[in-house]
Structures are given as structure tokens and as C-alpha cells.
Amino acid sequence: MLRIHYADYEALRTHGEETYPNECCGVLLGKNIADEGNGAEAVNHVQQIVRAGNTRTDSAHNRYNIAPQELVKIQRQARGLGLDIVGFYHSHPDHPAQWSKTDFAEAHWLGCSYVITSVEQGKAALTNSFLLSGTTEEDKTFEDEPIQIDIAPNVAEAAAQTQKGQA
């Protein structure tokens, strides 16, 4: 399961609207709460999101890539905050919020969450999360995972408004 604050959830969706018609991408920092065999599923708990630049300027409308140099910096930043990289997000401009063959082939962070937002005509539509499970490149799979959005009491009302707008 992916657990994320409402503000971060909205921010990653907004990022996709801002970069439309190109894909946006970013990194989810937080903590992985492992499945401890007590029946509770593993949780990637997001504490902060970091926007990244899409290096695929040649084909930014249907490809994304985060420069490894930028990832090194983000990983360093995470370490400084006592957090880990627990996932990534990107957008699908005018495509469903479903992983593509390319997304799967190029996903290598086992145990991390890959969040995809479909952006239709410039508006963020669906957001889905997929857990890259498995232990090796050979047996990896993307699993649908639920997203739990934490809403602080003071923004609950605003959230209700936005949700109405999206329906």
C-alpha cells in the first residue's frame, strides 16, 4: 500500500498538469514499513515528494527519465532527512493511468511504488500506484496497490471540494 499526505498527492498531480503535454517525473521519499508476517501488508509511507527534471527532451511527451546525477543528489537529500527513496511518480499525458511495457522494462527499484497520473487535456484525471514486487529482474511484476491519502483536519474541507470537482 502507498500512504501519502493529501498535499503531496495533489502536488504530484499538479506537476503533471504543469508539464502537460509532456511527462513529469519525481521521487517519493519516506519510509517502507515492511510486511512483518502479521498479516499487515507492506506500506510505502511517503513523507515528502521531490520534483525531478525530465531529461527526455527529445521525446518528453511519451518518455521520462531522471538523470542519475539528480537521483544521487535526491538520495543524499533523503539520507540527510533520515528518509529513503520509496517510490517515483510520472504522468501519462492523454494516456491511461496504467503502466506501459516501457515503464515495466525500465523499472528496477524492487519494493518501490510507481505512481502514474493520467493527464487528460491538461487536467489530472486518475492516479494509480503500482508496487514493483519480486526479488530479481527476472521475476519482477507490477502489482496494483491501494493509495491511502492522509487528510489533515484543516484541509479536509478543501479536499472535499476538490474531490467533487474531479468527479
Partner 1 sequence: MNIHIPTPLRAYTGGLETVSVAGTTVSSVFQQLTVQYPELKPHLFTPEGKLRSFVNVYLNDDDIRYLPNKEETAANDSDELTIIPSIAGGTSCRL
Residues at the contact surface with partner 1, assessed by CB under 8 A? 23, 25, 27, 32, 52, 56, 59, 62-66, 68-69, 71-72, 75-76, 79, 84-86, 88, 90, 92-93, 95, 99-112, 114, 135-137
Nearest to Zn ion of 5, 87 (CB atom): 87
d(CA 8, CA 47): 8
| Element of type H or E holding 104 | helix 101-105
Nearer of residues 25 and 49 to partner 1, judged by Cβ: 25
From Zn ion, partner 1, none, interface partner of 120 (C-beta below 5 to 8 A by class) = none
Measured between alpha carbons, how far is 154 from 150 in angstroms, rounded to an integer?
12
In terms of CB distance, is 75 or 162 closer to partner 1?
A: 75
CB of 96 to partner 1, least distance (A): 9
Shortest Cβ distance from residue 117 to Zn ion (Å)? 10
Burial label for 8, CB within 10 Å (0-12, 13-18, 19+), is buried
State how beta strands 25-33 and 43-52 pair: antiparallel
Distance in Å, CB of 100 to Zn ion, minimum: 5
Q: List contacts with Zn ion (CB under 5 A).
A: 100, 103
* Distance set, CA 61 to CA 4, 103, 129, 155 (Å): 26, 14, 20, 33
69, interface contact from Zn ion, partner 1, none, CB < 5-8 Å by kind = partner 1
How many Å apart are CA 110 and CA 102, to the nearest integer?
16
Judge whether 122 and 94 are in contact, CB under 8 Å. Answer: no
Given the complex with Zn ion, which of 9 and 130 has the nearer CB atom?
130
